[in-house]
Chain A
Amino acid sequence: MRAELDAAYSGRTLAARAATAASCVAVAIAMVPLLAILLYVAQRGLGALSWSFFTRLPNPVGESGGGMANAIVGTLELVGLASLMGIPVGIAAGLFLAEYRTTMLTRVVRFSADVLAGVPSIIVGVVVYATVVVRMQHFSTLAGALALAVLMLPLVARTTDELARTVPDSLREAALALGASRWRIAIHVVLRTAGPGIRAGCMLAVARVCGETAPLLFTAFNNRFWNESLGDPTSSLQVQIFTYTMSPYDDWHAQAWAAALVLVAIVVVLNLAARRVLRGPKAA
C-alpha cells in the first residue's frame, strides 16, 4: 500500500514537472513574436526618428525630410473622439446587459454585440463610408472616429457586461434594501465596484483601435496638411504607415518605420496605463 502510494506520488510529481516545463516553453514561444516585433520596429524606427518627425508636416513627393506631426495629432484626435462616442455608450449597454439579464432584449443585444465584435474592421469602414461619407460627400475626421467607435462598442460593452456580472448580488440586494432605484444601483454600486476592471477594459479597447487602419482608409482618408475642422479628412499614423510603406521611396519607408515605432509606443503606454489602473485600487 505504502509503496504503491509512493509510486503514484512520484509519478504525479513527474507529471507536474513536465506540465510546468511545457508551460514555460509555451510562454517562451508566445513571447518570441512580441519581442521580435518590438525590437525590429525599434531598430528600424529609431534611426528615422528626429525632432522634425514630431513637429513638421510631410514634405512634398521627391523632397526628403519632413515629419508626421499632423498624423500623430490625427491619430490622437480619431482615437479620442472614438472613445468619447464608444466608451459611454458601450458602458451603458454593458450595464444594461448585466442588470437586466433575463429579458429577450438582453439576449438580442448580447448576441448582436458578439457578432459586431467579430465583424472585420474593413466592413465597418465600408458601412460608414456608404452611410456617412457618401451622404456628407467628403471624407472626415468625424466619420473615421465613428468607424473606430463602432469597433470599440462591442468590446467595451462585453467587458462591462462580464465584469458587472462578477459583482455579487448581495451588494445589489443591500442597495435595494436601502431604498435605491435600479439605475442608481447600476451606477453607484455595480459600476463603482467593477470600476477598475472596466477602466482597464476600456483602455484595451482604445489600444486596439489605435492600430486599426482599414476602417480609416475610406472614412478619415488622409491629409497632407493639418485638418482644419472635424469635418475635414485627417491624416493618421495608421494610414500614413500604409501609404508610405506602399510607396517606392526609401525615405518614405524609413518614415513609415518611425511612424510604426511611435504608434507601438502609444499602444504600449496605453496598455501599461491600463495595467496600472487594474492593479491600483485592488491592492487596498
Chain B
Amino acid sequence: MIPPRSTPPPSLPPPGVEKMRAEGLSAWFGQKRALKDITLPLVEHKVTAVIGPSGCGKSTFIRCLNRMHEVVPGARSEGQVLLDGASIFGREVDPVRVRRRVGMVFQKPNPFPAMSVRDNVLAGLRLSGITPPDPNRLAEEVLRQAALWDDVKDALDLPGGALSGGQQQRLCIARCLALEPEVVLMDEPCSSLDPVATAKIEDLIHELRERYTIVIVTHSMQQAARVSDYTAFFYVGELVEYDEADVIFTKPSDPRTEDYITGRFG
C-alpha cells in the first residue's frame, strides 16, 4: 500500500494558454471516492494524456470536465473545473452548453445505428435543434477533418453501424467535431481498435491539436508517449505526477510513476 501524499503534487505553470483547469476536484460514486483533490491545467492546442492503471479515476476525471460524471445515478463531485477561467459548475451554467464546448469521444465507438453516416455527423446539431445551412458541405468538411471522407464519401447513406470499428470511431470523432467544440475529450478511443486503426486515430489527434485542445485517456503508455505533449499519471484517484510527456517518460520524479511506466505494476 502506498501512503497517501500529504501535499498535492506540483502543477507546473505550463507555457501556453490554460484552456481548462481542474482545481481541487474530487468525485464520488455513492460512498466510493473515485477522485481525490485533483489540480491539473490543460493547455490550449496541446494534447494532454491521462494515464494510470484501471480504476485509477482517469475516466471519471475527464467525465467531470464536461459534466458527464453527474449523469451517473449517485455520482457527485466537489471542487472546481474552469473553462477559459470560468467555472463550469456554476448555478447559472447549463450542462448542455458545457458539453457543446467540451466534446467527448467514448471508449467503444457508438454511432447511432438508426442514422446514416451523414445523419450521424449532423446528429449533434440536429439534437440541439439546429439545421445547418448547407448540411452536405458541413458533413464533408467535418469528415475530412476526421480523415474519414475518402473512406465514406460513397457510403454516406449507409447506416452508421455498417462501417468498420476504426471508421466508426472516426465517425464519432467527426460527430463531435461538427459541433465545433473547443476541447475534445477522448476516453481510451483506441482500446477496441486494431493497430492500423489505432495509428490512424493517433495521426488524426496530431492534426486536430492545431484546432482543438485535446485530453486523451489511455492505458497504453506507448500511446501516451506518442501523442501527448503533457502527461498526467493517476493512481487510485490521485494525481501522482504531471509534466511534459518527455519528462514523465524519461525521468519521472515520483517512484510510483517510474514503477508504472517501466511496467512494474498496472
Residues of A within 8 A of B (CB): 102, 168, 170-171, 173-181, 184-185, 188-189, 192-193, 195, 281, 284
Q: A170-B110, A193-B112 are in contact. Are A177 and B129 (CB under 8 A)?
A: no
- Asked if B124 contacts A178 (CB within 8 A), the reply is yes
- Asked if B127 contacts A180 (CB within 8 A), the reply is yes
User: With a CB–CB cut-off of 8 A, which chain A residues contact B112?
Assistant: 171, 174-175, 189, 192-193
Q: Is B81 an interface residue (CB 8 A)?
A: no
- In the complex, what residue of chain A is closest to B113 when comparing beta carbons? A193
Q: A184-B127, A185-B127, A188-B126 are in contact. Are A176 and B68 (CB under 8 A)?
A: yes
User: With a CB–CB cut-off of 8 A, which chain A residues contact B115?
Assistant: 192
User: With a CB–CB cut-off of 8 A, which chain A residues contact B15?
Assistant: none
- In the complex, what residue of chain B is closest to A190 when comparing beta carbons? B114
Bound complex: CA of A171 vs CA of B115, how far in Å?
A: 12
16 additional A-B residue pairs with CB within 8 Å, beyond A174-B112, A178-B179, A179-B99: A168-B110, A171-B112, A174-B106, A177-B68, A177-B99, A177-B104, A178-B99, A179-B127, A179-B128, A180-B96, A180-B124, A180-B127, A184-B128, A185-B127, A188-B126, A189-B112
B103-147: CB near A (< 8 Å → 1, else 0) gives: 110101011111100000001101111000000000000000000
Shortest beta-carbon distance, B26 to chain A, in Å? 22
- Chain B contacts with A in 35-89, Cβ cutoff 8 A: 66, 68, 71, 73
- Asked if B114 contacts A192 (CB within 8 A), the reply is yes
Q: Is B175 an interface residue (CB 8 A)?
A: yes
Q: Is B27 an interface residue (CB 8 A)?
A: no
Q: Is B100 an interface residue (CB 8 A)?
A: yes
Bound complex: CA of A96 vs CA of B162, how far in Å?
A: 30
The 8 Å CB contact of B96, one of A171, A173, A181, A193, is A181
Residues of B within 8 A of A (CB): 66, 68, 71, 73, 96-97, 99-100, 103-104, 106, 108, 110-115, 123-124, 126-129, 158-159, 162, 172, 175-176, 179
Bound complex: CA of A170 vs CA of B111, how far in Å?
A: 9
User: With a CB–CB cut-off of 8 A, which chain A residues contact B113?
Assistant: 171, 193
User: With a CB–CB cut-off of 8 A, which chain A residues contact B158?
Assistant: 284
Bound complex: CA of A281 vs CA of B128, how far in Å?
A: 26
User: With a CB–CB cut-off of 8 A, which chain A residues contact B103?
Assistant: 177-178
Bound complex: CA of A174 vs CA of B96, how far in Å?
A: 13
Bound complex: CA of A185 vs CA of B127, how far in Å?
A: 7
Q: A174-B172, A177-B68, A177-B99 are in contact. Are A188 and B108 (CB under 8 A)?
A: no
Shortest beta-carbon distance, A26 to chain B, in Å? 35
User: With a CB–CB cut-off of 8 A, which chain A residues contact B104?
Assistant: 177
Bound complex: CA of A174 vs CA of B99, how far in Å?
A: 11
Bound complex: CA of A178 vs CA of B99, how far in Å?
A: 6
- Asked if B110 contacts A184 (CB within 8 A), the reply is no
Bound complex: CA of A171 vs CA of B110, how far in Å?
A: 6
- Asked if A188 contacts B159 (CB within 8 A), the reply is no
Shortest beta-carbon distance, A160 to chain B, in Å? 15
User: With a CB–CB cut-off of 8 A, which chain A residues contact B97?
Assistant: 179
Bound complex: CA of A192 vs CA of B104, how far in Å?
A: 22
- In the complex, what residue of chain A is closest to B107 when comparing beta carbons? A170
Bound complex: CA of A184 vs CA of B68, how far in Å?
A: 17
- In the complex, what residue of chain B is closest to A168 when comparing beta carbons? B110
- In the complex, what residue of chain B is closest to A188 when comparing beta carbons? B127
- Asked if A173 contacts B179 (CB within 8 A), the reply is no
- Asked if B106 contacts A175 (CB within 8 A), the reply is no
Q: A179-B100, A284-B159 are in contact. Are A174 and B126 (CB under 8 A)?
A: no
The 8 Å CB contact of A176, one of B99, B114, B172, is B99
User: With a CB–CB cut-off of 8 A, which chain B residues contact A178?
Assistant: 99-100, 103, 123-124, 127-128, 175-176, 179
User: With a CB–CB cut-off of 8 A, which chain B residues contact A168?
Assistant: 110
